[in-house]
Structure 1
Amino acid sequence: MKSLKFSLIAMLMVVSVSMNAQEKKTYKIHTVAFYNLENLFDSINDTSIYDEASPIMEMSESLRGEAYRKKLRNMAKVIADIGNEDTHNSPAVIGVSEVENRQVLVDLVNEPVLIDKDYGIVHFDSPDKRGIDVALLYQKALFKPIDTSSHELLIYDDSTRKRVYTRDQLLVSGELEGDLIHIIVNHWPSRSGGEARSRFKRVAAGKLNKQIIDSLQSNDPYAKIVTMGDFNDNPTNDSMKKAMKTEAEKDEVELKGIYNPFENQYKKQGLGTTGYRDAWSLFDMILFTQPFLEKDYSSFRFYKAGIFNKSYLTNKEGRYKGYPLRMINAGLSGGYSDHFPVYVYLIKEDDKK
């Protein structure tokens, strides 16, 4: 392979690969991403949920509307930028978490920097006690949903025997430019009360996620499945390695196995998506099944994974220098989320020559 370059054709990026002087192949490329939007709540007090936890609701009523509009602009800017440097397009599909309701998503995709992308929305209300949900946004020209479902996580506190209400797992099956793929969007239970004490909740979430994947693979062992989200665990934790049975190396992933391209970024490079108590955690990940690793590029395959941690998303000084710049820290002057987004590139040979 002598060269690799990108060029934009009708809003799609193709990768031009010169195999030799006589042969040239071109590849379409799309970004698939995930972003925890950290408390994307509107400015209206909803008494049916605990939205008082939102920084916007902690402000005076005169400032809430302005803060909400700023939050929308900032979230839209980030989404528009993810993958744009290489693909000249925003993500074809992007999973999001910590959204209050469908209306905040409608407002988000209608922001000026996103409205021309014509994003569709897949969203279900979850039983989470804070009222936060997960959702999938997709460019209608590129991805066509076929089936959607929400999968409830039933877990109970060992000491009280009461149910722990958390986010459902969202499954969307659809066609990315004609290729059938299945996408699961997650936001697993937090580490509230400590990692060890809350571990069983995330292990249970991992088992549910694996059950969804197993069910899809029972119908088609070659199913192309993406599972993404804020897992509130690192790539090396039990929920990943034991419940999900993830692999860090491509050549160790068997047919029904799951590849985690972020594990080595965490173990070998020390990278993270969120910081806490002077330490990085890599809670946000995108994993996928073995068929995405095949070398036949007649359908979409995995090309690259990364953390979107551009300078404008980080604190520039003080105790949290280098960590994600949160709106709660920056107030009306700016701020984004306490998590960096993550992304993968999928490529497919372009048959239009």
Structure 2
Amino acid sequence: MFFKKKPSPELYTIGFYNVENLFDVHNDPATLDDDYTSDGVLHWTKKRYGKKLYKLGRAIANIGYDTSGMAPVLVGLAEVENREVVRELLGSRPLKDKGYELIHNDSPDERGIDTALIYRSRYFRVLASETIPLLIDNVNGERDYTRDILHVTGVLNGQHIHVLVNHWPSRREGGEETVYKRVAAAQLIQETMERVRKEESSPVFIIMGDFNDDPFSESIREYLLSPDLYNPMEKLLSYDSGSANYNFKWNLFDQILFSRDFFTEEKGTHSFVKAGIFNKRFLAEWTGRFKDTPFRTYAGRRYLGGYSDHFPVYIQLRLNM
């Protein structure tokens, strides 16, 4: 007889989710958000916005639930327009009773999209937060106004940790042509960690984001990854599995790396248990040539009513008692 494995109450899930253009319906004259208004080419309405909030809330609440029995304790977000959309996401029916709070700061990104961190205050206490600007130029020498890096310092179940949430520059102008931008972002992360190491003894880090590069890309392997960091996502990318699918090719741009301290079992610390891509059937296309790829909100200008063009990724940690 088959018995389903019971969830483990001492497992804590940490996730990251690119939520694909979570915009409200209001026009912000300072950003390029005109498409996401009722008069815009995408015909973005309160009804569509509300539907997306509910679906994203459902996705987030279920990340890692099968094995932990509860919603994630930390989730980094990319492509949120402002603090208010994150607040309304946390007020959606699937999340409103989970005790989430949020950290968000506006980035200079010309599209108006930012990163954020949501956390369950029962398990995580924020000590400090900062935004770290990524100052880079385009190939023509003009400033590339891209997303800041969000650095949050806090205490997870008694353990002091640093969380860095990223959304690195895109490949829109070509992967090879723009790799220098993502290398610069990786170098900035290393500079930030080195600064923290000078201020603290043996700090531990969790680095998450949409890096717009795969685990074996130059920016990740040669510039971000170091002997004291581990990237469990290297084992998850395959021919038929990833977090995003472009031109029928899987990528794993969404990743979570962490300090190797999470392999110790010292009392009061956390130990790494597993990593995964949260690609449940309800998040994917069910039929057709895009079957099993992320069920997105739009395909070009055509409204599909899905969740996002990315699957969430996650790691799970066990608290050492």
Query: What TM bracket, shorter-length normalisation?
Result: over 0.9
* Cα contact 2:298–2:304 (8 A) shared by 1: no
In our comparison, the structure showing a higher alpha carbon Rg is: 1
Aligned with residue 96 of structure 1, among 73, 77, 98:
77
Match of 1:150 in 2: 131
Aligned with residue 43 of structure 1, among 9, 25, 47:
25
- The Cα offsets for residues 284-341 of structure 1, whole Å up to 9 and x where unpaired, read as 0000011111233541121110000001111122232221010114977630000000
Between the aligned partners of 1:119 and 1:189, the Cα distance in structure 2 is 28
Match of 1:265 in 2: 236
In structure 2, runs of 5+ residues without a counterpart are none
Over the aligned positions, Cα root-mean-square deviation in angstroms equals 2.0
- What is the 5 A alignment of 1:100-179? 100-158=81-139, 160-179=140-159
Which amino acid letter does the alignment assign opposite residue 312 of structure 1? F
SS state at 2:214 partner: coil
Q: 1:227 to 1:169 in 2, by over 3 A?
A: same
1:343 CA drift (Å): 0.5
State the identity as a percent: 39
Q: 1:89 to 1:324 in 2, by over 3 A?
A: same
Q: 1:332 to 1:277 in 2, by over 3 A?
A: closer
- The Cα offsets for residues 47-66 of structure 1, whole Å up to 9 and x where unpaired, read as 21001344874344xx6010
Match of 2:66 in 1: 85
* Greater CA drift, 28-37 or 312-321: 312-321
SS state at 1:116 partner: coil
Question: Does 1:65 pair with 2:46?
Answer: yes
Between the aligned partners of 2:116 and 2:268, the Cα distance in structure 1 is 29
User: TM-score when scaled to structure 2?
Assistant: 0.93
Aligned length: 316
- The Cα offsets for residues 145-168 of structure 1, whole Å up to 9 and x where unpaired, read as 00100000000123x211101000
Match of 1:325 in 2: 295
User: TM-score when scaled to structure 1?
Assistant: 0.85
Aligned with residue 11 of structure 2, among 29, 46, 51:
29
Q: 1:182 to 1:312 in 2, by over 3 A?
A: same
Between the aligned partners of 1:147 and 1:128, the Cα distance in structure 2 is 23
Which amino acid letter does the alignment assign opposite residue 140 of structure 1? S
Match of 2:313 in 1: 342
Which amino acid letter does the alignment assign opposite residue 286 of structure 1? I
Match of 1:231 in 2: 211
* Greater CA drift, 333-342 or 48-57: 48-57
Match of 2:272 in 1: 302
* Cα contact 2:42–2:302 (8 A) shared by 1: no
Match of 1:22 in 2: none
SS state at 1:67 partner: helix
Between the aligned partners of 1:54 and 1:189, the Cα distance in structure 2 is 21
Between the aligned partners of 2:147 and 2:89, the Cα distance in structure 1 is 21
Question: Does 1:313 pair with 2:283?
Answer: yes
Between the aligned partners of 1:266 and 1:326, the Cα distance in structure 2 is 20
- The Cα offsets for residues 230-289 of structure 1, whole Å up to 9 and x where unpaired, read as 00000011110111135xxxxxxx4xx21000012226x753100011100000000001
Between the aligned partners of 1:333 and 1:59, the Cα distance in structure 2 is 11
Match of 1:279 in 2: 249
* Cα contact 2:163–2:205 (8 A) shared by 1: yes
- What is the 5 A alignment of 1:199-210? 199-210=179-190
* Greater CA drift, 319-328 or 46-55: 46-55
SS state at 1:115 partner: coil
* Cα contact 1:297–1:347 (8 A) shared by 2: no
1:85 CA drift (Å): 1.2
Q: 1:55 to 1:316 in 2, by over 3 A?
A: farther
* Cα contact 1:325–1:335 (8 A) shared by 2: yes
In structure 1, runs of 5+ residues without a counterpart are 8-12, 15-27, 247-253
Question: Does 1:190 pair with 2:170?
Answer: yes
